[in-house]
Amino acid sequence: MSERWLVAMSGGVDSSVAAALMAREGHELVGVTMDLGQPESPNASTRSFKRCCGLPDAEDARAVARGLGIRHYTVNYRRAFHDAVIEPFADDYAAGRTPIPCIACNRVLKFDLLLRRAESLGARGVATGHYARIAPAPDGGPALYRGTDRDKDQSYFLFDIPRKTLERVRFPVGELHKRGVRELAHSLGLATADKPESQGICFIPDGDVKAALRRLRPEGFAGPGEIVDREGRRLGTHPGARGFTLGQRKGLGLADGPWYVSEVRPGDNRIVVERAPHLERCELMARRVSWLEAELPSGPVRVQVRHRHPSVPARVELGEAGEAHLLLEAPVWAPAAGQAAVVYDESDTRVLGGGWIAESA
């Protein structure tokens, strides 16, 4: 049955093919590109980095929409992006955590604000170019599954989308592999068929997190500080604690290495380092946990602590409201506070939920 759908068009090949597949099904489509602002690199041209959701990308999305014969709009979401993504990003680093801005962007902008816009347009919901799938859960309700292309699977970034929202979301490329998406884009003559993928943090296109934090929070940098080992012995200095993350090796400049960051103490501008074996963890405390199914996990599950990292077998012990103790059967490397711990079913295909890592041991 033909329905009206809003398609989030970032200007990349994945969302372009998602729109084309929805059009092929006969739906009435409204393409929307979110203008999130220009890169946070003062000397970067808007096309010199692999990024998304700026005005140049809107031009590419508009060209695809024109070729498909669908309406297209560019909508200014700069303030919402700043408040929901950039400010929390800076706050997390200020507190010594390592944020994942893509998760907040998905939850707040794509699957909240865009869904509201879809509703205002009389659309059934929102379709995006994510590599993930929605299919029935054992209880019959909608569930989030990994994308067929495990190398491109993005379900990790979608774990905290409310279950009721899944009923109004489509992931048209979730059943495809990336190569197939490219081939389809070429066969359809889409303007974005050969466009490079966006990589890294879209608002820090040059990858220099420390420089971006200095621009965002110049008052928060205390200058050089000490690098110490777990016993408090001074090993060297750093230019400022903010921007370091658990497990980091590069940029320490220490002799007798390798050393790895095991703790960031922004309060006293200090970095604690240890040897590699001490960075492996088998227990995690997750907070602000959300679940995608009514029946909470009680048996064996799998837990993933980084995008594209393999999940490991685990058990979940539910704590106070919004907390979960994750007992891992195999150690994981340097799970940083502020990162997501996503829980999958025992087959490692269906997302059960997840939360934000607060502690590890």
Residue type present at position 25: E
Contact between residue 155 and residue 350 where contact means Cβ atoms under 8 Å apart: no
| Active-site residue identified among 52, 53, 102, 202 | 202
Alpha-carbon gap, residue 348 to 139, rounded angstroms: 18
Q: Where are the alpha helices (DSSP H) in the chain?
A: 13-24, 55-68, 78-81, 87-94, 101-104, 114-120, 163-166, 178-187, 209-216
Q: Please name the residues in contact with 236: beta carbons below 8 A apart, sequence gap of 6 or more.
A: 226, 227, 252, 253, 254, 255
Alpha-carbon gap, residue 267 to 242, rounded angstroms: 10
| Active-site residue identified among 52, 53, 102, 105 | 105
Contact between residue 131 and residue 173 where contact means Cβ atoms under 8 Å apart: yes
Phi and psi torsions of 311, nearest 5°:
-80, 165
Alpha-carbon gap, residue 226 to 192, rounded angstroms: 48
Q: Please name the residues in contact with 219: beta carbons below 8 A apart, sequence gap of 6 or more.
A: none
Phi and psi torsions of 94, nearest 5°:
-65, -30
Burial track 97-107 (b if 16+ CB lie within 10 A, e otherwise): bbbbbbbbbbb
* Residues constituting the chain: 361
**Residue 282 appears among annotated catalytic residues:** no
Q: Which whole-number Å values give the CA distances from 7 to 11, 30, 65, 262, 285, in the listed order?
A: 11, 6, 10, 42, 37
Alpha-carbon gap, residue 274 to 285, rounded angstroms: 21
In the chain, the N- to C-terminal Cα span, in Å, equals 52
Any idea which residues carry the catalytic annotation? 105, 202
